[in-house]
Amino acid sequence: MASESNAKDTPRRIIIRAHEHWHNDYQQIVQNWLQRHGYADPTGWTRRHYVHLLGVNDGRFHIVIDINKSSWGNESVQELPYELYRLRKPIGSTG
């Protein structure tokens, strides 16, 4: 089994599906995801990770985080492991 630090060093793609109302908050969403998943410096994400947005479709958009972008080497995007997440509004929230 890989250690926790080795897992964080592994290049991979994170895809977060969110409601279009949160489109302008994507940077905060990325920082929160990185912090929640144990990345020590969520403010340095622009140096280690590449973030891009996919357009709105059916009221939803996707945030794509390419983790450890400089470690990809010769791998193509299709060969990288990926994780999918769906962002939901908090329980009891009306907005």
In a domain, 1, yes or no: no
Q: How many CA atoms lie within 13 A of 52 on its CB side?
A: 6
Lowest mean pLDDT segment, chosen from 2-6, 49-53, 63-67: 2-6
Query: Of the ranges 4-13, 28-37, 56-65, which is most confident?
Result: 56-65
Rounded Cα–Cα distance for residues 30 and 42 (Å): 8
pTM for the full model?
Answer: 0.78
Domain tally, the chain: 1
Q: Is residue 75 part of a domain?
A: yes
Q: Name the residue range of residue 46's domain.
A: 9-86
Query: Is residue 2, in this structure, part of any structural domain at all?
Result: no
Residue 49 lies in a domain: yes
Q: Classify 13 as helix, strand or coil.
A: strand
- Domain membership flag for residue 91: no
> What is the DSSP annotation of 66-90?
EETGGG-TT--GGGS-EEEEE--PP
